[in-house]
Amino acid sequence: MARQTASIQKAEASIYSYWFLVPAFFIFVIFFVIPTAISLYFSMTVWSFDSSTFCGFDNYKMFFSEYALTIGIKNTFIYAFLTSGSKVVLAFLIAVFLTGKIRTRNVLRSIVFFPNLVSTVAVGIAFKAILHPTKGYINQFINLFGLSSVDWLGNRSLALFSVAAVDIWKGLSIATVIYVAGIASIDHSYYEASSIDGASRWQTLRYVTIPLTAASRNTVIILSLIGGLRSFELIWTMTAGGPGFASDVMPSIIYKQYTQGFFGLSTAGNVILLVMISIVIFPLQKLLSKSEEAMR
Amino acid sequence: MKMKKRNPGSLAAEIIGWIVAVSLFVLPFLFVAFNSLKDRRGANKLNFTPPDVFHWENYVEVIRNNRYQILTAFKNSAEITFFSLIVLVGCSAMAGYIIQRRRTRVTAAANKLLLVGLMVPVSILPTIWLLRSLNIYKTLFSMVMIESALNLPFTIMLYRGFMDTIPTELEEAAWIDGCNKWAVFSRIIFPLLKPVTSTVIILNAVTIFNDFTNPLYFYPSNANVTVQLTIYNYISQFQSSYNLLFADVILITLPMLLLFIIFNKRIISGMVSGAVKG
């Protein structure tokens, strides 16, 4: 870079014109950046689309004082960390299995990858029936062992975790894809070296596969955390935040406030969600990329 | 891969793998498929048994429901997906190309902005407010723009990552031979991007076709209804007829299943290469 002369820079500027950036960034700025910027103002107002009255931090104060709203902040964090953590571990185990020496590898991969293509609403409908309090087959299976049925989605202390379990089921698929790609890109010479050194399977996993999939793992952690913090569709189709507010998360609260006409409050929820994601993701990203560097 | 010896443990592992995969991923699908073919009373028992008689008429009934609403929905979703893909492929390929090739303050800032865009949630009501002010709320155009804007950061990242693998010699030669900058991009670079373009199409088509939240906010009302909104509305309508609700679920999953079976290799390798760069 340093030895580039002025004339090359000039040629570069004319081949790689900034005009190529314009269409993408025009759309991105108009339909994404500007609404995000003005949400800061509207979150401090009482407004309908036609008129707005400034009210300072009232909406935010309400978010941190009303139980029906604060529970959303708590649930969002629980949901995100629980689903993300489970996906990081389970998907890794599945991926190790799917990259191992098994005959029917491709069929099994297809089965595991398919949920990627099924819509979240369809998954929600299917699992709502599967988790039905009396007739669902999970409960019928439990009954076989003489245990009594569980109201997976109707029980206040369980609902959030039941939805989280279904979220893990659906999300395992993409997380596994990411790990499989990571494991497949590990150079075979590492495995040959470890087998020459007489490493056991566990040692190979511990000292070769786990460190060398750090990049994939970090991708899974970041993507699943962002996805978990923004999760709406599954919760909305399975419990709609209920029973009561027991499984409400920020995005479902944002939607509820909107349908009830509290636009300012809803927008404040949006800004709070943005802050929640930032305070989790930014430091984590720094930390993860630092540890990734250290491993090399 | 010369060590192909098989130990007895790997067969056991394979069998356990199959049991887990089938019970976790195949059974839910079979359960829905079986019950979609039963009569109403049979389906409402939510039993895990194959139907005695196959009631294919359930499918006819859900297709005819609400004056063939599901067909309109398929058409709407297909339109949104198709136009968004055109915008996404065109804009992202150009942007990814410049961001990777030219390392300046401008492109570095553009890249930062995209990274932030990957995580920030949509500001829903301000967006609706903006669309209303521009008089484009509840239009196909605005829905296409929103799906494009939301998927641009990820798509540009994919293109930028792939540009790393294309040597600069080709475009330099074309430039010296007198191609202008647009010709360099459209005749030399864009055709070379074909592998990543197919990844981009697969990933975005699935995301946009299956999107529920954004049409819920930005494309409401009956005439504009999309596939995911239709199925969501059927939850309350078919509350007491699981056979019809499940027939709907199968109906909206079937196109994806067919695509998956036909393009299995392409889709899986697309997802895998998307995952590496993502």
pLDDT at residue number B156: 94
pLDDT at residue number B46: 86
Place A13 in a pLDDT band, splitting at 50, 70 and 90: confident
Mean pLDDT, residues B96-108 taken together: 91
Q: Which residue of B has its CA nearest to A272?
A: B121
Place A63 in a pLDDT band, splitting at 50, 70 and 90: confident
- A-B CB pairs within 8 A amount to 254
Residue A281 forms contact with B (CB below 8 Å): yes
State pLDDT tens for residues A183-215: 888 888 888 888 888 888 888 888 888 888 888
Question: Could you tell me if residue A22 is inside a domain?
Answer: no
Choice between A10 and B203, residue whose per-residue pLDDT is larger: B203
Q: A2 pLDDT exceeds 50?
A: no
pLDDT at residue number A34: 95
Place A30 in a pLDDT band, splitting at 50, 70 and 90: very high
- What is the domain-level CATH number for residue A259? 1.10.3720.10
Place A279 in a pLDDT band, splitting at 50, 70 and 90: very high
Residue A258 forms contact with B (CB below 8 Å): yes
Mean pLDDT, residues B11-17 taken together: 85
Which positions in chain B touch A31 (Cβ < 8 Å)?
127, 130, 145-146, 148-149
B25/A112 Cβ within 8 A:
yes
Mean pLDDT, residues B31-41 taken together: 88
Question: Could you tell me if residue A7 is inside a domain?
Answer: no
B48/A140 Cβ within 8 A:
yes
| Out of A34, A126, A188, closest to residue B32 by CB | A126
pLDDT at residue number B8: 58
Question: Could you tell me if residue A197 is inside a domain?
Answer: yes
Q: Closest approach of chain A CAs to the CA of B46, in angstroms? A: 6
Question: Could you tell me if residue A115 is inside a domain?
Answer: yes
Q: Closest approach of chain A CAs to the CA of B89, in angstroms? A: 10
Mean pLDDT, residues B191-219 taken together: 90
In percent, how much of chain A has pLDDT > 90? 47
pLDDT at residue number B152: 95
pLDDT at residue number B278: 45
Q: B4 pLDDT exceeds 80?
A: no
Structural domain containing residue A66: 39-295
Question: Could you tell me if residue A94 is inside a domain?
Answer: yes
State pLDDT tens for residues B218-268: 998 877 789 999 888 888 888 888 899 999 999 998 888 888 888 777 777
Task: Please give the ipTM for the structure prediction.
Answer: 0.87
Question: Could you tell me if residue A195 is inside a domain?
Answer: yes
B181/A100 Cβ within 8 A:
no
Residue A27 forms contact with B (CB below 8 Å): yes
- For chain B, domains (ranges, CATH) are 58-277 (1.10.3720.10)
Q: Closest approach of chain B CAs to the CA of A15, in angstroms? A: 5
Q: Closest approach of chain A CAs to the CA of B209, in angstroms? A: 8
Which positions in chain B touch A13 (Cβ < 8 Å)?
102
State pLDDT tens for residues B127-175: 999 999 999 999 999 999 999 999 999 999 989 988 888 888 888 888 8
Q: A167 pLDDT exceeds 90?
A: yes
SS (H, E, C) chain A: CCCCCHHHHHHHHHHCCHHHHHHHHHHHHHHHHHHHHHHHHHCCEEECCCCEEECCCHHHHHHHHCHHHHHHHHHHHHHHHHHHHHHHHHHHHHHHHHCCCCCCHHHHHHHHHHHHHCCHHHHHHHHHHHCCCCCCHHHHHHHHCCCCCCCCCCCCCCHHHHHHHHHHHHHHHHHHHHHHHHHHCCCHHHHHHHHHCCCCHHHHHHHHHHHHCHHHHHHHHHHHHHHHHCCCHHHHHHCCCCCCCCCCCHHHHHHHHHHCCCHHHHHHHHHHHHHHHHHHHHHHHHHHHHHHHHHC
pLDDT at residue number A9: 64
In percent, how much of chain B has pLDDT > 70? 94
Choice between A289 and B88, residue whose per-residue pLDDT is larger: B88
Question: Could you tell me if residue A65 is inside a domain?
Answer: yes
Q: Which residue of A has its CA nearest to B205?
A: A117
pLDDT at residue number B219: 92
Mean pLDDT, residues A149-178 taken together: 91
> How many domains, in total, are found in chain A?
1
Q: Closest approach of chain B CAs to the CA of A65, in angstroms? A: 23
Question: Could you tell me if residue A33 is inside a domain?
Answer: no
Least confident of A142-151, A166-175, B3-12, B23-32: B3-12
Mean pLDDT, residues A42-71 taken together: 88
**Mean residue pLDDT across chain B:** 87
Q: Closest approach of chain A CAs to the CA of B150, in angstroms? A: 7
Choice between A51 and A276, residue whose per-residue pLDDT is larger: A276
Q: Which of B5, B6, B19, B125 to mutate to test the interface with A (most CBs of A within 10 A)?
A: B125
pLDDT at residue number A168: 95
Mean pLDDT, residues B56-77 taken together: 89
Which positions in chain A touch B114 (Cβ < 8 Å)?
28
Least confident of A5-19, A84-98, B134-148: A5-19
pLDDT at residue number A1: 45
State pLDDT tens for residues B146-159: 999 999 999 999 89
